[in-house]
Amino acid sequence: MSGQAGASALESALAAAGIAASVEARERLALIRPRGAAAARAIAVQRERVTTLATAHGFSHAALEIVSLPDRDAAAPSDAALPGD
């Protein structure tokens, strides 16, 4: 079961595993968007479990969307120079 039904079921399975994330289906790709820094860390720690759940819900691939997380960004200031500075 992939598609939107699979995405909803995978989202519920991730929640049951303690991972707050939204899931978007793009054919057989599960695009996983963590809801906050704690969820992103949980996905990183439980990567094998996340991929197993995605496969069990009909997906052949899972991708973690990298999002800007305020607590991470505030803790790690960038030293990148901007053009024109």
Per the domain annotation, does 73 fall within a domain?
A: no
Residue 12 lies in a domain: yes
- What percentage of the chain has pLDDT greater than the value 70? 75
Taking the C-alpha atoms of residue 81 and residue 54, their distance in angstroms, rounded to an integer, is 39
Q: CB–CB of 46/17 below 8 Å?
A: yes
Rounded CA separation 13/30 (Å): 13
- pTM of the shown model: 0.74
Encode pLDDT of 57-81 as tens digits.
999 999 998 866 555 545 555 555 6
Range of the domain at 38: 3-67
CATH of the domain at 13: 3.30.300
- How does residue 26 score in pLDDT terms, banded at 50, 70 and 90? very high
Q: Supply the pLDDT for residue 84.
A: 58
> 79 in a domain, yes or no?
no
Split into its structural domains, the chain has a count of: 1
Tell me, yes or no, whether 72 lies in a domain.
Answer: no
